[in-house]
Amino acid sequence: MEATIISNIQMILAGLTEGRIVHYVMPNGEHRPAIVVRVWRELQEASPGYSNLQVFTDFGNDVKVENREFYNDAEIRSGRLWATSVSYADAGESGLHPPHTWHWPERN
């Protein structure tokens, strides 16, 4: 059974490399497009999908000055978020992806 789970995650993560576009889950649970800029290949076994991303936010609608606990000054100015050490996570039974994770874009 465990071997099946491992091969499923390997199938899901096949093709993960710098330059791919994924969805990043914002603190409020909304999804934003992100480009994979670094894959931590030596850490994939411990944390599947572990990568750094550049997230394209909805600028002022997402990256607000009042949310400074999440965003630094450069991110507030540019609307582009550098999300580091992000693991892959599928939607759980709730259908919701956890914040600060990534997944492949849904088809609808």
**Residues 17, 52, 101, 55, Cα dihedral to 10°:** -100
* Phi/psi at 45 (5° precision): -70, -40
Q: Which is nearer to Zn ion, 23 or 81 (CB)?
A: 23
**Whole-number minimum distance, CB 16 to Zn ion, in Å?**
15
Measure Cα distances from 106 to 4, 32, 53, 97, 100 in Å: 23, 11, 18, 12, 17
- Is 55 a residue that touches Zn ion (CB under 5 A)? no
Kindly state the tokens that stand for 71: 């965003």
**From 20, 31, 80, 100, residue interacting with Zn ion (rule: CB under 5 A):** 31
Q: Which is nearer to Zn ion, 93 or 106 (CB)?
A: 106
**From 16, 23, 34, 86, residue interacting with Zn ion (rule: CB under 5 A):** 23
Chain positions contacting Zn ion, by CB under 5 A: 23, 31, 106
